[in-house]
Amino acid sequence: MKKIVLFAALFCSLATATAANSEQQHPFNAFLEKMQGLAQQVYDSQAKKDTAQIVEKNYKAINFIESNRETLTKYLSNRQFNSMKNTFYYDLACINSRQGNIEAAIYNLSQAAICDYGDWKHIIEDHDLDNIRSDERFKVIFDDIRSRFDFPTILKQAAPYTRNERRDTLPSFSYQSASDPNLKRVREYFRLDSVAGNGDEISKIKNVLTYIHNLIRHDGQHGNPIHLNSIDMAEACKDGSRGLNCRGLAIVLAECYLSMGIPARYVTCFPKEYIDDCHVINVVWSSQLKKWLWVDPTFNAWVTDENGQMLSIQEVRERLRDDRPLVLNDDANWNNTSKQTVDYYLREYMTKNLYYVSVSTNQEFGVEDPDVAGYPHFVDLMPTGFIGDSRHLLIVNDDEWFWQAPRQTIAPNRSSE
């Protein structure tokens, strides 16, 4: 049986769906509170090993979700909506199997698969399903789940990039100059000269990362504030009642680096099939190492090779594809409560989310804030031949162009490449 995780995926779905309207009250807020209570009831019945109650509470949760379909699907895709039911169906399949009710077990496991239940490793280890393992229908369901959720295999099977773009037809990347008045305010507001310290470039990059990670907690239960610039987002979190989701944290960190004159991007990392989760991190340009470095404010994380040299997103992705060593900094964590490991953070979570990546070609203060810059120009780097469900107009397969070094050239308020 799978213990209920109290709707972390649901929170992520709703936060993603409502990010642009985050300070408004949505009609499913009451649904979310009720759903938390129902999920807790399922968890409690599991703890008591009360089979009748487990069945009752799982069906109650499924029926409650279905009763809110019309409201929720205004904000969520059908796939996101259905994914909320998968663990409840999986629990029912486990109970049915233990009771010897093969038909019901196969039906509920198939429903879990239809609703994107993806923990194929747990299925292998779960003795609750032993009574249906010899059934051919179980094998078909399991193979379907694994084909969609075995993320290391999916990443390894991704097509290579192709460096054949007509680069004269592609836009240039721009990085706002630290002399911009808004970025000067960022540098002063976050006291970055003091935070960065007097060490070398790499130590300053790490110090600013850890500072933002500790200053603003990750909060997947809310969208971001309406004003998407670093100062206004930090102000919204000042009283401790809320934090920012991964996108908000990455935007804040990018603006901090830009204010110090260090080119930076916030990067959205996507799975091959988007259901209810992606992740946003940063890359920051190291003139010392001559490459983009992976930094993640949600988890205070950077990645090195076996020799201790910091790695880029591209380098981490390739090492995941061919099983080369990766090292995560010892103090990588979530909200200073949950230590992160290579096995989970890199080889599970980020392996899922590195199928393709997306950035804005213009990196500047308030790039997604409608009252400031407000107009990011996104470009996606995808494996050759893959389109996916991207909504962005520009898709490239040329990794060399995508990860080109910033070229500091003349612009009144920004540096361009």
What is the tens place of the pLDDT at every residue in 163-176? 977 888 899 999 99
In this structure, the answer to whether residues 145 and 171 fall within a common structural domain is: no
Question: Where residue 288 falls among pLDDT bands split at 50, 70, 90?
Answer: very high
Distance from C-alpha of 266 to C-alpha of 67, rounded to nearest angstrom: 38
**117-157 confidence digits (pLDDT tens):** 999 999 999 999 999 999 999 999 999 999 999 999 999 99
Residue 8 confidence (pLDDT) above 50: no
In this structure, the answer to whether residues 44 and 185 fall within a common structural domain is: no
Helices (H) and strands (E) in the chain, counts: 18, 13
In this structure, the answer to whether residues 286 and 396 fall within a common structural domain is: yes
Cβ 282 vs Cβ 363: under 8 Å: no
Distance from C-alpha of 83 to C-alpha of 79, rounded to nearest angstrom: 6
Residue 77 confidence (pLDDT) above 70: yes
Largest CA distance in the chain: 73
Distance from C-alpha of 303 to C-alpha of 289, rounded to nearest angstrom: 14
In this structure, the answer to whether residues 200 and 342 fall within a common structural domain is: yes
- The span from the first CA to the last CA of the chain, in angstroms, equals 54
Question: What pLDDT, on the 0 to 100 scale, is given for residue 221?
Answer: 75
Give the chain's mean pLDDT: 89
Question: What pLDDT, on the 0 to 100 scale, is given for residue 25?
Answer: 45
DSSP annotation of 48 reads H
Q: Check residues 78 and 30 and name the one with the higher pLDDT.
A: 78
**214-259 confidence digits (pLDDT tens):** 999 999 877 788 889 999 999 999 999 999 999 999 999 999 999 9
Domain assignment of residue 154, yes or no: no
Question: What pLDDT, on the 0 to 100 scale, is given for residue 27?
Answer: 57
What is the sign of the dihedral through the CA atoms of 333, 338, 339 and 343?
A: negative
Instruction: Provide the 3-class DSSP secondary structure of residue 275.
Output: coil
Domain assignment of residue 307, yes or no: yes
In this structure, the answer to whether residues 172 and 121 fall within a common structural domain is: no
Last-in-domain residue among 114, 149, 184:
149
Residue 373 confidence (pLDDT) above 70: no
Domain assignment of residue 2, yes or no: no
Percent of the chain with pLDDT over 70: 90
Last-in-domain residue among 102, 122, 149:
149
In this structure, the answer to whether residues 200 and 295 fall within a common structural domain is: yes
Question: What pLDDT, on the 0 to 100 scale, is given for residue 96?
Answer: 96
Question: What pLDDT, on the 0 to 100 scale, is given for residue 404?
Answer: 96
In this structure, the answer to whether residues 245 and 111 fall within a common structural domain is: no
Question: What pLDDT, on the 0 to 100 scale, is given for residue 37?
Answer: 81
Structure tokens belonging to residue 205: 């990059």
Whole-structure pTM value: 0.86
DSSP annotation of 372 reads S
Domain boundaries, position 397: 167-416
Question: What pLDDT, on the 0 to 100 scale, is given for residue 73?
Answer: 86
DSSP annotation of 77 reads -
Q: Among 219, 155, 206, 168, which residue's Cα sits nearest to residue 350?
A: 155
Domain assignment of residue 159, yes or no: no
Range of lowest pLDDT (28-32, 166-170, 361-365): 28-32
Average pLDDT, stretch 343-368? 96
Domain assignment of residue 76, yes or no: yes
Domain assignment of residue 381, yes or no: yes
**298-341 confidence digits (pLDDT tens):** 999 999 999 999 999 999 999 999 999 999 999 999 999 999 99
358 φ, ψ (degrees, to nearest 5): -140, 140
Question: What pLDDT, on the 0 to 100 scale, is given for residue 315?
Answer: 98
In this structure, the answer to whether residues 98 and 172 fall within a common structural domain is: no
**397-412 confidence digits (pLDDT tens):** 999 999 999 985 324 3
Last-in-domain residue among 149, 177, 194:
149
Question: What pLDDT, on the 0 to 100 scale, is given for residue 29?
Answer: 63
In this structure, the answer to whether residues 129 and 268 fall within a common structural domain is: no
Instruction: Provide the 3-class DSSP secondary structure of residue 292.
Output: strand
In this structure, the answer to whether residues 122 and 171 fall within a common structural domain is: no
Q: Check residues 374 and 49 and name the one with the higher pLDDT.
A: 49
Residue 279's DSSP bridge partners are 269
In this structure, the answer to whether residues 309 and 406 fall within a common structural domain is: yes
Cβ 282 vs Cβ 303: under 8 Å: no
In this structure, the answer to whether residues 327 and 202 fall within a common structural domain is: yes
Domain assignment of residue 106, yes or no: yes
Structure tokens belonging to residue 394: 């520009």
Total domains, the chain: 2
43 φ, ψ (degrees, to nearest 5): -60, -45
Residue 44 confidence (pLDDT) above 90: no
Domain assignment of residue 324, yes or no: yes
Q: Among 15, 119, 20, which residue's Cα sits nearest to residue 76?
A: 15
CA atoms within 13 A on the CB side of 122: 13
